Amino acid sequence: MRSKKFMLVALVMIAALSLSVAFVQAQDTQVIKIASQSPLSGPQSILGISIRNSAELAVEQLSADLEAAGFTVEFVPYDDQATPDVGVSNANNIVNDAAILAVVGHLNSGVALPSSVVYDDSDLVMVSPANTNVNITDRGLVTVNRICGRDDSQGAAGAQFAASLEGVETVYVLHDTTAYGLGVAEFFQAEAEAQGLEILGFEGTEEAANFDGIIQPILALEPDLIYFGGIYSQTGIFINQARSAGYEGIFVGPDGFDSSEFAELAGDAGVGTYYTSVAAPVSVYPEAEQFAADYEEAYGEGVQPFGAQAYDSAAIVLAGILAAVEANDGALPTRAQVAEAVRAIEGFEGLTGTVTFDDNGDNEIASYFILQVVSADKDEWNNNELLSTQEIPSPLFAEAMG
């Protein structure tokens, strides 16, 4: 009886000792976490999952320098469900995890706008691979950066292209009522008017399934071209139904069209659709070949648009953290130091081009692409025809250049 009690006490003591040793060891290598926020469920999850996977791949491949400096780098993906309130509630969880030093995200500008305020309150840096709304950076937050282009330039590029098409005189503009869709549609409208096109209608709709009612006035107005500022999960279905209701004109859209799922949703009706993009298919970037192969090997499927951008965003974040660690004599930097280091990055050579942030966090020179859907087969999506590429400077940079 007595020996049993003794054994028990001894066991407990050994257990406690080993635990404390483990604890001390864990303290030895400090953990740095990089979070991602993108829709991992819901209709837009195809792009969102690709963003998560690409960022994860970057963290796996590029954190050797940080690990050599004595840190463990972890990747924590969050699902923002493409919904602002979920994004904000995730953001609150993220800022409360002291180990998280940077966020890669979001897919949707409508989610990024409120979430980035939460990050900014805690000086947490965000690098966006995909948010094109002008207000993302125009608010001038120190922590918010993006490597992709902007809606004003993208909408204008779309309108200029629409005006250059033969026989297009009248356009009908639709948007999905989100910050993204409305934003890009308004910039399209402004530039289209400046180009002398007649705007027959400007409509917002949240409808996701049955567009019959929305199509009726369009058929009556007979526009030469329809511009739809929205995401493929809505626009693909719309285009499919508009064609089968007898609309014969041209469809143009923003980068929200850019997913292989669009081909599936729109079917044959979607072939010939033009879209502008801030992210060309991976095949357009010569540097991204290895990445596309690695991605396919790791996740068993092809990388979606914004994947390469997400990889670059994570790479920039890692480079920024490394710079902050070096500036901090090898100690763990604060979030504010990381944010400063990320903004200070100059001439970063990523897969998708060179990144230098201006004072608002825009990439100084961003690329815009005009593509045309070539096939209703989703496997052919990466072969969509690239019609033209434009390099447009960010507003601040353009001003500085005079």
204 is a site residue for another protein (CB under 8 A): yes
Which residues in 33-92 contact another protein (CB under 8 A)? 41-43, 46
In the bound complex, what is the minimum distance in angstroms from residue 13's beta carbon to another protein?
47
Q: What is the DSSP string of 85-124?
A: HHHHHHHHHHHH-TTEEEEEE-S-HHHHHHHHHHHHHTT-
302 is a site residue for another protein (CB under 8 A): no
In the bound complex, what is the minimum distance in angstroms from residue 182's beta carbon to another protein?
10
Q: Which residues, listed in sequence order, are joined to residue 251 by a DSSP beta bridge?
A: 226
Nearer to another protein, 12 or 208 (CB): 208
In the bound complex, what is the minimum distance in angstroms from residue 168's beta carbon to another protein?
17
Nearer to another protein, 99 or 190 (CB): 190
What are the DSSP E strand ranges found in 242-314? Answer: 250-253, 274-277
Question: What does the block give as tokens for 357?
Answer: 């942030």
Question: What does the block give as tokens for 100?
Answer: 């998280």
Q: What is the DSSP string of 207-250?
A: --S--HHHHHHHHHH--SEEEEES-HHHHHHHHHHHHHTT--SE
**Gap between the Cα atoms of 337 and 320, Å rounded:** 9
In the bound complex, what is the minimum distance in angstroms from residue 235's beta carbon to another protein?
12
209 is a site residue for another protein (CB under 8 A): yes
In the bound complex, what is the minimum distance in angstroms from residue 361's beta carbon to another protein?
31
Report the candidate in 387, 291, 384 with the shortest Cα–Cα distance to residue 54: 291
Which residues in 217-276 contact another protein (CB under 8 A)? 217, 219-222, 233, 236-237, 240-241, 243-246, 261, 264-265, 267-269
User: By rule CB under 8 A, what string of x and - marks binding of each residue 145-184 to another protein?
Assistant: --------------------------------x-------
Q: Count each helix (H run) and each strand (E run) in the chain, helices first.
A: 15, 14
**Gap between the Cα atoms of 256 and 276, Å rounded:** 9
Q: Which residues, listed in sequence order, are joined to residue 202 by a DSSP beta bridge?
A: 173
DSSP 357: B
In the bound complex, what is the minimum distance in angstroms from residue 200's beta carbon to another protein?
9
Q: Using CB under 8 A, which of 210, 290, 383, 389 touches another protein?
A: 210
Nearer to another protein, 204 or 302 (CB): 204
Phi, psi of 37 (to 5 degrees): -130, 125
In the bound complex, what is the minimum distance in angstroms from residue 153's beta carbon to another protein?
26
296 is a site residue for another protein (CB under 8 A): no
Q: Name the residues that contact another protein, by CB under 8 A.
A: 41-43, 46, 177, 201-206, 208-217, 219-222, 233, 236-237, 240-241, 243-246, 261, 264-265, 267-269, 376
